[in-house]
Amino acid sequence: MSVALNEAVSFIKSKTRIQPEIGFVLGSGLGAFAEQIQEKVVIPFQDIPGFSRSNVVGHAGELIIGRLGEKKVAVLKGRVHFYEGHSPEEVVFPVRTLIKLGIHTLVVTNAAGGLDKKMKPGELMVITDHINLTGQNPLIGKNDESLGTRFPDMSEAYDKKLSQKLFSLLKKLKIRSSRGIYCGVTGPSYETPAEVRYLRKIGGHAVGMSTVLEVIAAKHMGARVVGLSCITNLASGILKQPLDHKEVTETAKIVEKNFVKVLKEFIKSL
Ligand code: HPA
């Protein structure tokens, strides 16, 4: 693993002199944040050794490195998903690469279905914790001690202080928001109404098909993590109409402005 990571890191370093401190993963339809970056270098995933291509509509698949205000950032615009047929290791490879590159804080974002009837499509949810229901773990197999320990602690997977800061900022900016637990499933089929009732019962507030594997890998390597979900729809069975991926990307698009605004402000405090 380390050899492949070193190769990816060397390749990226050959493209830019900027040493990023903060990493972002931008979920479905949330790519506009990347437009804010200055002095940027854009590297398509397919050019980076070890990176897999993302084929999902709304996930471009580019690494963007540059500056945002005072901060040096690395942004994964788009991500690879387990449901595309990539292994958990392939799914987390880009995040591992960013941490190897030197980022100390990772902001993960995603589109998610709201499990709580009171949620409104378009609201943002600060992720306070997750439930990994994928049945997968990127750390299965021989542990690479150079990356982290065999049994990483997950008692504060999402940094409490930073999450609180992000939530306060959302309130200050008067952006409709909540805090809650993200349930990570594999997809690609959406949940059944019975599954949604189950997710609510076990304590979830949102459900999505990404993020949890990346966060496990990031914690393994000792990075600080903050998570933000864009609630693009209410989960299956809450409303009468069936779910459609178009609804997810369209809602994300509407929220884009607020999403960019809060992250631009939040980065100042990192
Ligand atoms: N379920 C799972 N993943 C999702 C959803 C959903 O309702 N919305 C956006 N991603």
Q: What does the pLDDT look like over 152-175, one tens digit per residue?
A: 999 999 999 999 999 999 999 999
Q: Which amino acid is at 155?
A: S
CB 196 less than 6 A from any atom of ligand 1:
no
CB 121 less than 6 A from any atom of ligand 1:
no
What's the gap in Å between 104 CA and the centre of ligand 1? 29
CB 195 less than 6 A from any atom of ligand 1:
no
Identify the residue whose C-alpha is closest to ligand 1 atom 6: 113
CA dihedral in degrees (228, 233, 235, 240; nearest 10)? 170
Name the residue of 182, 209, 231, 234 to mutate for ligand 1: max ligand atoms within 8 A of Cβ: 209
pLDDT at 239: 82
Determine if residue 197 is left, alpha or beta; phi over 0 gives left, psi from -120 to 50 gives alpha, anything else beta: alpha
Identify the residue whose C-alpha is closest to ligand 1 atom 7: 113
How do beta strands 22-26 and 105-114 pair?
A: parallel
C-alpha closest to that of 132 among 194, 78, 188, 202 = 202
**The token pair that represents 180 in the structure block:** 């809650």
What's the gap in Å between 42 CA and the centre of ligand 1? 28
What's the gap in Å between 142 CA and the centre of ligand 1? 32
CA distances from 39 to 18, 68, 188 (A): 9, 9, 36
Higher pLDDT, 46 or 137: 137
* Segment 43-63, tens digit of pLDDT: 999 999 999 876 665 556 899
Q: What is the mean pLDDT of residues 24-32?
A: 87
pLDDT for 200 beyond 60:
yes
Q: What is the pTM of this model?
A: 0.95
pLDDT at 22: 97
Percent above pLDDT 90 for the chain: 83
- Ligand 1, residue 114: give the atom nearest the CA: 7
- Ligand 1, residue 234: give the atom nearest the CA: 7
CB 124 less than 6 A from any atom of ligand 1:
no
pLDDT at 54: 67
C-alpha closest to that of 121 among 219, 252, 232, 5 = 232
pLDDT at 50: 93
Bridge partners of residue 182, in order along the sequence: 130, 206
Higher pLDDT, 78 or 171: 171
Identify the residue whose C-alpha is closest to ligand 1 atom 5: 113
What's the gap in Å between 258 CA and the centre of ligand 1? 20
pLDDT for 29 beyond 90:
no
Confidence of residue 237 (pLDDT cuts 50, 70, 90): confident
Q: In angstroms, rounded to a whole number, what is the distance separating the alpha carbons of residues 166 and 255? A: 16
Q: In angstroms, rounded to a whole number, what is the distance separating the alpha carbons of residues 179 and 128? A: 6
C-alpha closest to that of 126 among 165, 174, 93 = 165
Q: In angstroms, rounded to a whole number, what is the distance separating the alpha carbons of residues 19 and 41? A: 12
Q: What is the mean pLDDT of residues 114-142?
A: 96
Confidence of residue 134 (pLDDT cuts 50, 70, 90): very high
Q: Are 99 and 23 in contact (CB under 8 A)?
A: yes
Q: Which residues of 133-145 are buried (b: 16+ CB within 10 A; e: fewer)?
A: bbebebbeeeeee
**The token pair that represents 51 in the structure block:** 């990176």
Identify the residue whose C-alpha is closest to ligand 1 atom 3: 208
